Amino acid sequence: MSGSSRGYLDNQIRRCNRNLLITIIGVGLLWCAAIWWLESNVVYAIMLSVLGVALCFLWYSIVFARRRDYGIHPMIKRLNRFGDSTVAVNSINNSGQGRRWGKFNLLSDWFAIPSFLDCKFLYKKELVWAYEKGTTTTTHYRLNFIIPLGSSTSTSRSVVMHFRCVQKKADGSVVAKPKVYEVKDIVDPQSFLLEIHATAPQARIGYK
């Protein structure tokens, strides 16, 4: 299956698995470099290097075996809170690549929060309230920590979002858990809020 035909969730799983491999290779190389730098005995250096590489290989084999199984991958398991994750998986995969706002990707029906080794998903229909937040920071400058040289003030804009996340239990009951996320360093918070409102009309936008 080509990269263009994969869905958004599939691509995120592949990206995180690739980054995991890069991380483990990097740890292995750092281990070997440290051993050869600190150990003067060549035989010991070789033995410790082989041990480090073997442990890294074992680490990757264990973690990748868990991530290779699509059904028990951490991203998929978190979607099991909806009951059957298949519907949520198909919805995310069919949501396109989305638009980036800060650390969030705004998909058609979902918010995606990708990181180096993971990606979390929030359902837009669970959004209850979103509003703009301004944070003012004042920095004071001093010479030798004693003589004041003045100060500067900066203001950052962000968007705070409140979700009511459902959790379906094995007995069929549903529990709602509130969650709050803040999208920091938004250049145009109002445009972000308007785009949210267009695809999540049930949510309260702003303070009115």
Query: Rounded to an integer, what distance in angstroms lies between the CA atom of residue 135 and that of residue 156?
Result: 5
Q: Nearest Cα to 180, choosing from 116, 126, 136, 134?
A: 126
Task: State the pLDDT confidence band at 123, using cuts at 50, 70 and 90.
Answer: very high
Q: What are the tens digits of pLDDT across the range 56-101?
A: 778 777 776 666 666 778 888 888 888 778 888 888 988 877 888 8
Residue with tokens 């004041």: 148
Query: Rounded to an integer, what distance in angstroms lies between the CA atom of residue 93 and that of residue 10?
Result: 7
Q: What are the backbone dihedrals phi and psi of residue 40, each rounded to the nearest 5 degrees, phi first?
A: -85, -25
- Domains in the chain: boundaries: 3-68, 123-205
This prediction has a pTM of 0.74
Q: Nearest Cα to 163, choosing from 114, 119, 208, 196?
A: 196
Winning range, highest mean pLDDT, from 15-29, 51-65, 109-123: 109-123
Half-sphere exposure of 126 (CA within 13 A, CB side): 19
The helix/strand/coil state of 115 is coil
Residues 6+ apart with CB under 8 A from 121: 9, 75, 78, 79, 88, 92, 110, 111, 112, 113
Q: What are the tens digits of pLDDT across the range 129-187?
A: 999 988 777 776 676 667 776 777 777 888 899 999 888 777 777 788 889 988 887 88
